Amino acid sequence: MALVPFDDRDGFIWLDGAMVPWREAKLHVLTHGLHYASGVFEGERAYAGNIFKLREHTERLHNSARILGFAIPWTSDEIDAACVQVLQANGQTDAYVRPVAWRGSEMMAVSAQNSKIHLAIATWAWPAMFADRMAGIRLDMAEWRRPHPQTAPTASKAAGLYMIGTLSKHAAEAKGFQDALMLDWRGRVAEATGANAFFVFDGELHTPTPDCFLDGITRRTVMALARVNQIKVVERVILPEEIAKADEVMVVGTGAEVTPVREIAGTMFTPGRITETLLTDYEKLVRMSPEDAAKRLAA
Under a CB-based contact definition with an 8 Å cutoff, are residues 258 and 249 in contact?
Answer: no
Environment class of 296 (CB within 10 Å of its CB; exposed 0-12, middle 13-18, buried 19+) = middle
Half-sphere exposure of 112 (CA within 13 A, CB side): 25
**What 3-state DSSP class applies to 131?**
coil
> How many angstroms separate the CA atoms of 161 and 174, rounded?
21
Q: Which residue of the set 26, 53, 157, 284 is catalytic?
A: 157
Under a CB-based contact definition with an 8 Å cutoff, are residues 99 and 79 in contact?
Answer: yes
> How many angstroms separate the CA atoms of 68 and 223, rounded?
28
- Report the candidate in 70, 15, 12, 19 with the shortest Cα–Cα distance to residue 40: 70
Cα–Cα distances (Å) from 108 to 66, 152, 198, in that order, read 20, 21, 42
175 is known as an active-site residue:
no
- Is the C-alpha dihedral spanning 85, 90, 96, 102 positive or negative? negative
- Report the candidate in 246, 190, 188 with the shortest Cα–Cα distance to residue 180: 190
- Report the candidate in 21, 117, 144 with the shortest Cα–Cα distance to residue 62: 117
Please list, residue by residue across 87-118, b when 16 or more beta carbons sit within 10 angstroms of its beta carbon and e when fewer do. beebebeebbbbbbbbbbbebeeeebeebebb
Sequence-distant (6+) residues with CB within 8 A of 135 are: 260, 262
Write out the catalytic residue numbers: 157
